[in-house]
Amino acid sequence: MNPRDRIKLLGVGLAGLGVAGVAQAQSQGPVSAKPISSEPWKVAMQLSDGLEQAYEGLINIQNVLQLDPKMRFIVVGYGKAIHFLLNGTKTPQGALFEGLIGSLANQGVQFKACVNTLTFLRIPKKRVVLEATFVQTGVYELVKLQSEGWYYIKP
């Protein structure tokens, strides 16, 4: 057998292995996350850029909690995104943020609203959803959480 025929035969064999691997992976279904630690991961999420970012971040949390319901999240809202924490604000798809926030809060997600942003924008605290608590400064809260071992994410 000449060298070119050997290469062709090797290529056919490798291609067959690849197809078998794909077929096996497809038959196994979704792969679940494997915990690195016995303790639940703690994640602090910054939402400050606007309603699109807020919606994306909350959907990300929803997806992660389907994989690992033990994960803990604190969402800190400030800046342009503070409006997602206000009663009556709609998602880019037209649903109320309140429904998504309520659903996530029922799964243990905490929400924190920045008082400095509310004051600057002249938004009364009574407009903030009931699930949210108040922190004086959103950035300070995120730094504090990181110093306490929380992972930081900004979608």
Q: What is the pLDDT of residues 15-69, one digit of tens each?
A: 444 444 444 445 555 556 565 667 899 999 999 999 999 999 999 999 999 999 9
- Where in the chain are the domains? 42-153
pLDDT value of position 69: 94
Buried b (16+ CB within 10 A) or exposed e, 63-100: ebbeeeeebbbbbbbbbbbbbbbbeebebeeeeebbeb
Statement: residue 74 has pLDDT above 90: yes
Interval 80-85 mean pLDDT: 98
SS3 155: coil
Strands (DSSP E) found in the chain: 42-47, 72-77, 110-114, 132-135, 151-153
The model's pTM:
0.76
Q: Read off the pLDDT of each residue in 10-14 and give the average, rounded to a whole number.
A: 47
Q: Please tell me the CATH code under which domain 42-153 is placed.
A: 3.40.1260.10
Task: Compute the half-sphere exposure of residue 30: CA atoms within 13 Å on the CB side of its CA.
Answer: 5
Instruction: Dump pLDDT digits (tens) for 91-139.
Output: 999 999 999 999 999 999 999 999 999 999 999 999 999 999 999 999 9
Mean pLDDT over 139-145 rounds to 98
> Which pLDDT does position 39 carry in this prediction?
83
